[in-house]
Amino acid sequence: MLSALQFLRWHQDNEYGFKTSLNAEEKTELLGHFGIVRDDLLNFATCSGILGFREKEAEPTLFWCSAWEEGAVLNAPLREILKMERFIPAISYYHGNKEKVVGT
Please indicate, yes or no, whether the overall pTM of this predicted structure exceeds 0.75. Answer: no
Q: Does the residue 7 lie in any domain? A: yes
Q: Does the residue 38 lie in any domain? A: no
Q: What is the dihedral of CA 15, 18, 21, 22, to 10 degrees?
A: 40
Can you give the pLDDT at residue 71? 93
Tell me which residue range forms the domain holding 89.
44-94
Q: Tell me: do 88 and 55 sit in the same domain.
A: yes
Total domains present in the chain: 2
Q: Tell me: do 57 and 15 sit in the same domain.
A: no
Q: Tell me: do 28 and 48 sit in the same domain.
A: no
Q: Do 80 and 63 form a contact (C-beta atoms < 8 A)?
A: yes
Q: Tell me: do 49 and 73 sit in the same domain.
A: yes
Q: Does the residue 75 lie in any domain? A: yes
pLDDT digits (tens, 9 = 90+) for 52-93: 999 999 999 999 999 999 999 998 888 888 889 999 989 888
